[in-house]
């Protein structure tokens, strides 16, 4: 379809954003529709997800895996389209998948998943306009009119599926939030999530030489605790356990790290006190890498035999309850998702239609629903897109 054809067509539905939620919505019902995608390729975030393997869902998805100001909002959609339903679609297309640790579900190739999403949408009467940027939206004479870089697009219904603010290089541009505000919708303040944390200045120089090193650890933020790899970066910490904790971290809050989650440092020091070893030496014997042990202890390092009770206690805390207040996060350019978004009490949880604006639907990351690491956010894209599609297919 050429750009000039847009002017003479009234689509049933226009979808802004050909990412995970937009493509899945388009492929879940048969009506004449158009997807506007500013990038030259569709679903760029899906194509790189899971290290190119696409962590498309999780076996153990529940509403408890999502952070939202309205904690019950996601229940209906998750119940209507489950991880098993997406697996069935993959198997129908003979696309292999596998289950990994903690119920994470992966495809063999993320690009195969993108190809499947695109073809499924096209089979259901969808035109995907790539490299076409939506510039503005208005509603007139009962139709949504989208001002695009290829001319005006008219549709009876509009779906905002343009994602959040994270990873702007892969499509996050804030356009959906701009349109939501234009229509008078309120939002929960957006912030980077599933992202690395930066160390305060006084710790950065001490830990900078560890950049690239990782170890299994436990990261605690408030009442939340996550075990998994922790990776040191040039300005802070990252890795799965840190990314999980970042979803629940708020500025100014203390983060605790247990560098030996299966062992008590106090018991290690007691066992090695009369062996002639230093604090570091004892920790290395029990599996903590030498460089990391030295950085964690800092000025506390000394011979165990001459250590006072206060020094032993302080060193034990440094290992099992290393406390610091992050100076911030690695930012939206490195965040996997955006937390916050359009306030969900304005959205029907079954249809995803905006309560105030008839015919306007909002799905995916644009909403104030953010999943944990491990396939939960793509499952939200499928479930929210499917719910909107089932509502839209009844609107003829």
Q: Is residue 313 part of a domain?
A: yes
Please indicate, yes or no, if residue 116 is contained in any of the structural domains. Answer: yes
**Per-residue pLDDT reduced to its tens digit, 108-146:** 999 999 999 999 999 999 999 999 999 999 999 999 999
Place of tokens 């349109």: 179
Residue finishing a domain among 307, 329, 351: 329
Please check whether residue 79 lies inside any domain of the structure.
Answer: yes
Please report the pLDDT score of residue 193 as a whole number: 97
Quick one: 203 and 343 in the same domain? no
Dump pLDDT digits (tens) for 10-25: 999 999 999 999 999 9
Judged against a pLDDT cut of 80, whether residue 7 lies above it is answered with no
Q: Does 95 reside within a domain?
A: yes
Domain CATH for 110:
3.50.50.60
pLDDT of residue 171: 76
- Residues 37, 160: one domain? yes
Residue pLDDT, tens place only, 157-193: 999 999 999 888 777 789 999 999 999 999 999 999 9
Last-in-domain residue among 300, 329, 358 = 329
The predicted pLDDT at position 282 comes to 98
Residue that is last in its domain, among 311, 329, 347: 329
DSSP line for 157-210: EEEE----SS-GGGT--SHHHHHHHHTT--EEEEEEES--EEPPHHHHHHHGGG
| Widest Cα–Cα separation across the chain | 87
Same domain, 174 and 34: yes
| Token pair for 107 | 């495809």
Say yes or no: 174 and 84 in one domain: yes
pLDDT at residue 3 is higher than 80: no
Task: Please give the tally of structural domains in the chain.
Answer: 2
Residues 161 and 30 in one domain: yes
Clarify whether residues 114 and 245 are in a common domain. no
Query: Are residues 20 and 167 both part of a single domain?
Result: yes
State whether the Cα torsion 143-145-146-149 is positive or negative: positive
Q: Please state the rounded mean pLDDT for residues 280-288.
A: 97
Identify whether residues 205 and 223 lie together within a single domain. yes
Domain match, 227 and 297 both: yes
* Within-domain flag for 292: yes
Please report the sign of the dihedral spanned by the C-alpha atoms of residue 312, residue 314, residue 315, residue 321: positive
Share of the chain above pLDDT 70, in %: 99
pTM: 0.95
Domain span holding position 287: 197-329
Beta bridge partner(s), residue 367: 342
Give pLDDT tens digits for 305-357. Answer: 999 999 999 999 999 999 999 999 999 999 999 999 999 999 999 999 999 99
Residue 249: which CATH number?
Answer: 2.40.30.10
38 falls in which pLDDT band (50, 70, 90)? very high
Residues 167 and 100 in one domain: yes
pLDDT of 226-255, one tens digit each? 999 999 999 999 999 999 999 999 999 999
- 69 in a structural domain: yes
Q: What is the pLDDT of residue 59?
A: 97
Same domain, 299 and 184: no
| 281 lies in the same domain as 136 | no
> At 5, is the pLDDT very low, low, confident or very high (cuts 50, 70, 90)?
low
334: in domain: no
Percentage of the residues of the chain whose pLDDT score is greater than 90:
96
């Amino acid at each position: 379809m050429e750009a000039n054809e847009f002017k003479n067509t009234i689509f049933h539905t226009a979808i802004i954003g050909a990412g995970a939620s937009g493509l899945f919505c388009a492929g879940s019902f048969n009506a004449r529709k158009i997807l506007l995608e500013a990038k030259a390729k569709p679903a760029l975030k899906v194509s790189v997800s899971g290290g190119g393997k696409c962590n498309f869902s999780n076996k153990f998805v529940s509403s408890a895996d999502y952070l939202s100001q309205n904690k019950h909002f996601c229940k209906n959609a998750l119940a209507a389209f489950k991880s098993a339903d997406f697996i069935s679609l993959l198997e129908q297309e003979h696309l292999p998948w596998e289950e990994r640790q903690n119920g994470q579900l992966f495809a063999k190739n993320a690009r195969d998943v993108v190809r499947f999403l695109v073809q499924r949408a096209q089979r259901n009467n969808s035109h995907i306009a790539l490299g076409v940027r939506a510039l503005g939206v208005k509603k007139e004479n009962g139709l949504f009119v989208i001002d695009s870089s290829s001319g005006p697009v008219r549709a009876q219904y509009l779906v905002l599926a343009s994602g959040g603010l994270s990873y702007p290089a892969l499509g996050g541009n804030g356009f959906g939030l701009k349109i939501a505000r234009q229509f008078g919708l309120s939002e929960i303040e957006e912030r980077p999530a599933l992202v690395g944390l930066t160390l305060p200045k006084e710790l950065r120089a001490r830990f900078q030489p560890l950049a690239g090193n990782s170890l299994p650890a436990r990261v605690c933020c408030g009442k939340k605790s996550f075990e998994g790899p922790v990776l040191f970066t040039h300005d802070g910490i990252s890795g799965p356990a840190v990314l999980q904790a970042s979803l629940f971290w708020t500025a100014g809050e203390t983060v605790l790290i247990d560098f030996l989650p299966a062992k008590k440092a106090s018991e290690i020091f007691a066992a090695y006190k009369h062996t002639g070893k230093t604090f570091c030496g004892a920790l290395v014997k029990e599996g903590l890498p030498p460089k990391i042990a030295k950085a964690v202890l800092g000025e506390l390092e000394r011979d165990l035999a001459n250590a006072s009770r206060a020094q032993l206690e302080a060193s034990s805390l440094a290992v099992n309850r290393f406390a610091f207040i992050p100076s911030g996060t690695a930012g939206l350019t490195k965040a996997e998702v955006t937390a916050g978004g359009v306030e969900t009490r304005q959205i029907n949880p079954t249809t995803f239609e905006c309560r105030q604006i008839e015919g306007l639907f909002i799905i995916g990351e644009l909403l104030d629903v953010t999943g944990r690491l491990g396939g939960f956010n793509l499952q939200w894209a499928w479930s929210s897109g499917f719910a909107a599609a089932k509502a839209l297919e009844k609107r003829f």
